[in-house]
Amino acid sequence: MSLPPATLSLDLDDAWTYMRAAGRPGWEATRSVVPEVCARLLAMLDRHGLRLTLFVIAADLEHPDRVAAIRPFVERGHEIGCHSWHHEPTFAALQPERMREEVLRAADLIEARLGVRPKGFRAPGFAWSPRLPAILREGGFHYDGSPLPTFLGPLCRAYYFFHSKMSKAEREQRKAMYGGIKDAFQSLRPSRYPGAPELWSLPVTTIPLLRTPFHTSYVVWLSRFSRGLASFYLRLGLGLCRLRGVAPSYLLHSLDFVGNGEHRDLDFFPGMDVAWARKEAILEDTLTALRARFTVLPMGEYLAPGRGIAARAAS
Ligand SMILES: [Zn+2]
């Protein structure tokens, strides 16, 4: 019997995006983590025989070394998604024309530099906006991977604000970051947008019933208290997805691939006190657990006619 489907994606957030979102000075000049993250990620995916969706920030494609690090993903059949042009921390509050640019210019740049037109979009900081579906439709996108249905969104935002040096106005502009309480009640399953039926919404999966995130950054954070607890929490999430018939949309982040002491400007970020060796062990365990339970696909393939969701609906 074939395993039920799951999707895997990574948001290729560079060091500057974390510093900028937290209002840290010097973000423009900080060292990129993209080459190192891509090398580690690609080696790991090859070992597991997995392909994923890599959500790329178009501004990073101005740098030849970052393009060179990302190109092997295209060559090996991974999907390239769009993670906006400049990863604006105020994405959901942008004026309509600026938001259009952030999405449409980004898709054009990705196509020009990598030779593939992205079909999937994920907003920076999961900051969804009701204006987004119409813009995605205009850009020829097939799906939006932005929603994060969790109760913890407002808590994450509070944590972020607490550790930043932002003014009240800057905080106000970032208030859609990580979503709000009402987002926790959204479905975990893919759905079509009303008024844009060719466009799928495919949320990042949180644990069914609990609605707490269980992507790798959270598992790494829990491992600081107990490795056993972290492993139990991951398996609880995957197990409840199987039980409830939810295809997990499992999310990785760049900093899951950067260990303590490897980038001093990022020491402030949660989980950056954990060594790479431990993060690598958690990632290995996660990918092993995922593929033991699910057929893992890039997001676009899961939504494509005749694959994951469509094949199952027809059977
Ligand atoms: Zn991001």
Which 3 state secondary structure label does DSSP give 250? strand
Residue type, 75: E
Q: Reduced to 3 DSSP states, what percent helix, strand and coil does the chain have, rounded to the nearest 5?
A: 50, 10, 40
Place of tokens 């059977």: 315
Cα torsion 285, 288, 289, 295: sign: positive
Rounded Cα–Cα distance for residues 236 and 249 (Å): 15
197/120: higher pLDDT: 120
CA 123 – ligand 1 centroid, Å = 7
Rounded Cα–Cα distance for residues 213 and 150 (Å): 7
CA 242 – ligand 1 centroid, Å = 27
pLDDT for position 197: 83
pLDDT for position 315: 37
Rounded Cα–Cα distance for residues 78 and 71 (Å): 10
CA 89 – ligand 1 centroid, Å = 9
Q: Kindly tell me if the per-residue pLDDT of 296 is higher than 80.
A: yes
pLDDT for position 313: 46
Structure tokens at 110: 């990705």
Q: Which residues of 266-297 are buried (b: 16+ CB within 10 A; e: fewer)?
A: beebbbbebebebbeebbebbbebbbebbbbb
CA 126 – ligand 1 centroid, Å = 8
**Angle made by CA atoms 257, 260, 261, in degrees to the nearest 5:** 115
CA 93 – ligand 1 centroid, Å = 16
Structure tokens at 1: 């019997």
Of 22-26, 160-164, 255-259, where does the model show the most confidence? 255-259
Q: Kindly tell me if the per-residue pLDDT of 52 is higher than 50.
A: yes
For the chain, domains (ranges, CATH) are 5-208+249-254+295-314 (3.20.20.370)
Q: In this structure, are residues 139 and 201 in contact, taking their beta carbons and an 8 Å threshold?
A: no
CA 13 – ligand 1 centroid, Å = 5
- Count CB neighbours of 178 within 10 A: 22
CA 139 – ligand 1 centroid, Å = 20
At 196-250, the pLDDT tens digits run 888 999 998 888 888 888 999 999 999 999 999 999 999 999 999 999 999 999 9
Helix H or strand E encompassing 265: none
Rounded Cα–Cα distance for residues 204 and 149 (Å): 7
Q: In this structure, are residues 199 and 193 in contact, taking their beta carbons and an 8 Å threshold?
A: yes
CA 83 – ligand 1 centroid, Å = 7
Residue spans of alpha helices (H) in the chain: 15-21, 34-48, 64-75, 96-114, 132-138, 153-162, 168-173, 216-223, 227-244, 276-293, 299-303, 308-314
Q: Ramachandran region of residue 23, left (φ > 0), alpha (ψ -120 to 50) or beta?
A: left
CA 85 – ligand 1 centroid, Å = 11
Considering only CA atoms, which of 126, 187, 144, 129 is closest in space to residue 53?
A: 144
CA 291 – ligand 1 centroid, Å = 25
Q: In this structure, are residues 121 and 146 in contact, taking their beta carbons and an 8 Å threshold?
A: yes
pLDDT for position 190: 87
Rounded Cα–Cα distance for residues 168 and 314 (Å): 51
314/217: higher pLDDT: 217
CA 177 – ligand 1 centroid, Å = 10
CA 48 – ligand 1 centroid, Å = 25
- The model carries a pTM of 0.89
Strands 53-56 and 5-11: parallel
